[in-house]
Amino acid sequence: MNDFSEQQEDDVLIQEDRVWQGNGWTARVIKNEDDDGWAVAMIKDGEPEPALVGPWTMGRDKKNPKPLDINAFHTLVKTASEVIRRHEQQLHAQLHKSLRVESEQGSLTVKLDIVPDEDDPYALLSAVDAYGEQLAQVRVAPNFKLSATSAAAWIENDFRRPH
């Protein structure tokens, strides 16, 4: 057997009644721990935890799960991808905040970008003018609260590092 055909065998995807792989995902039908029913776990390739776990339909015998198929799998991939996308948007919104403040320098955008470093988390507070030119940037605590009041006070204090 040559290297190419061995590689092809390694890449064969499982597409069975209770496990279906494709598009970078694995759907796995599992026993629902909360009741007598079944659940499906959607796991993105390379991730240790499922992105989505939801109820799964019983089969006709009312004991075993309905088998996975290509249509159900595509629906599950779409749903799990949307869950990940929303989670990423929420995380981005938590880590990156901005607001506009009117000042003597004109309309400024003040940004707070949190760097969630495990050892030394911090945030960068910056001010950008209407032309996109950065006027100032200082390092602040990761729990700094950006508000219209705190931004205006920072600007009025000549962009000195807030305490």
How confident is the model over 42-67, as pLDDT tens digits?
999 999 999 999 999 998 998 899 99
Distances (CA, A) of 72 to 15, 34, 142: 12, 23, 43
Average pLDDT over residues 26-36: 88
pLDDT surpasses 60 at 88: yes
Question: Above 70 in pLDDT, residue 4?
Answer: no
The answer on pLDDT for 34 being more than 80 is no
Tell me which of 2-16, 49-63, 128-142 is least confident.
Answer: 2-16
Reported as half-sphere exposure (CB side, CA atoms, 13 A), residue 35 has a value of 9
Q: How does the average pLDDT of the chain come out, rounded?
A: 91
- Strand segments, DSSP code E, in the chain are 19-22, 25-31, 38-44, 52-56, 96-103, 106-115, 122-128, 134-140
The model carries a pTM of 0.68
pLDDT reported for residue 6: 41
Which sequence spans correspond to the domains of the chain? 3-94, 104-156
Residue type, 74: H
Adjacent-strand bridge partners of 126? 111, 137
- The DSSP letter of residue 17 is S
Q: What is the pLDDT of residue 9?
A: 45
User: pLDDT tens for residues 110-127?
Assistant: 999 999 988 999 999 999
Cβ neighbours of residue 45 under 8 Å, at least 6 residues apart?
24, 25, 26
Question: In the prediction, which pLDDT does 52 show?
Answer: 95
Phi, psi dihedrals of residue 152, rounded to the nearest 5°: -65, -40
